Amino acid sequence: MGKKIIIVGASSGIGKAIAEAELNAGNSVVLLARREKSLESIAKKANLGKEKRAFPLVFDVTKFSTAEKTFGKAVSLLGNVDEVYFASGVMPEISPNEYNTTKDLEMLNVNLLGAVAFLNPVATYFAKQKSGKIIGISSIAGERGRKGNPVYNTSKAALNTYLEALRNRLSESNVQVTTIKPGFVITEMTKGLKLPEKGLMKAITAEEAAEKIRTIVANGKDEAFVPGIWALVGLIIRNIPNFIFKKLSI
């Protein structure tokens, strides 16, 4: 019998790639996102046979008061839940001298508070069930505060801390919490960026990222960088002294 999975942010990028991979593996998936047509397209391909395994459900992560009810509906569609992915994220373009509170609040609401609002009831459910896996898609950007997009860095750093706290709180309940920190991944969100095409740090596709993430989750890791080379990058970035780091253009 296949796994039963909920994916928040399943309409595009890494979330979509994970959803398609899980459905191709024979698992049942509730697909959550704002874009209904994209969700229905994914579900239609997966539900060609007699067995319905893909369940599209429109959900806006910034509607915090609806998160618990939406999770409950997803559980009822599946019967029970084994894994929950939170893959929603936004990164609006920010110019070097721009301080835009509207954009900043959007990032905090989606990347951080949306995760908290949805994963809190998930944590409650898994704690009672005494099993389950929570997977949060964060970013290498959460390792340090950088010049390019201060609040994106902030949202991912805070997400990392929240997931770590959940991991510690749920460890006695046999619940796995995995933090995924991707480097350069080719998605709609990174469309306007000049990503490296060669070398150790070259950008990978969302599909390549999804396969690596699924392996990481299956191996029960607490956190991991995707691809693995970014673990070294993260280590270096974290250990650059502040008096040097503030002069860098990264």
Q: What is the pLDDT of residues 129-159, one digit of tens each?
A: 999 999 999 999 999 999 999 999 999 999 9
Looking up tokens 């721009």, which residue turns up? Answer: 98
- Please, which pLDDT band fits residue 191 given cuts at 50, 70 and 90? confident
pLDDT of residue 196: 66
Q: Does position 192 have pLDDT exceeding 80, yes or no?
A: no
pLDDT of residue 152: 97
State the CB neighbour count (10 A cutoff) for residue 219.
9
- Please, which pLDDT band fits residue 48 given cuts at 50, 70 and 90? confident
- Please, which pLDDT band fits residue 86 given cuts at 50, 70 and 90? very high
State the CB neighbour count (10 A cutoff) for residue 43.
21
Question: Which of 47-51, 84-88, 117-121, 241-245 shows the lowest mean pLDDT across its residues?
Answer: 47-51
Question: Cα 38 to chain center, whole Å?
Answer: 18
Mean pLDDT over the full length of the chain: 95
Burial class (CB in 10 A: 0-12, 13-18, 19+), 173: middle
How many Cα atoms sit within 13 Å of 149 on the Cβ side?
22
Q: Does position 94 have pLDDT exceeding 80, yes or no?
A: yes
* 124: nearest Cα among 81, 160, 77: 81
Q: Does position 189 have pLDDT exceeding 80, yes or no?
A: no
pLDDT in tens, 196-208: 677 778 899 999 9
Q: Does position 160 have pLDDT exceeding 80, yes or no?
A: yes
pTM of the model: 0.94
pLDDT of residue 18: 99
State the CB neighbour count (10 A cutoff) for residue 27.
19
Dihedral over Cα of 164, 165, 166, 167: its sign? positive
Q: Find the mean pLDDT for residues 102-121.
A: 99
Q: How far apart, in whole angstroms, are the C-alpha atoms of residue 33 and residue 9?
A: 5
Domain 4-245, what fold?
Rossmann fold (3.40.50)
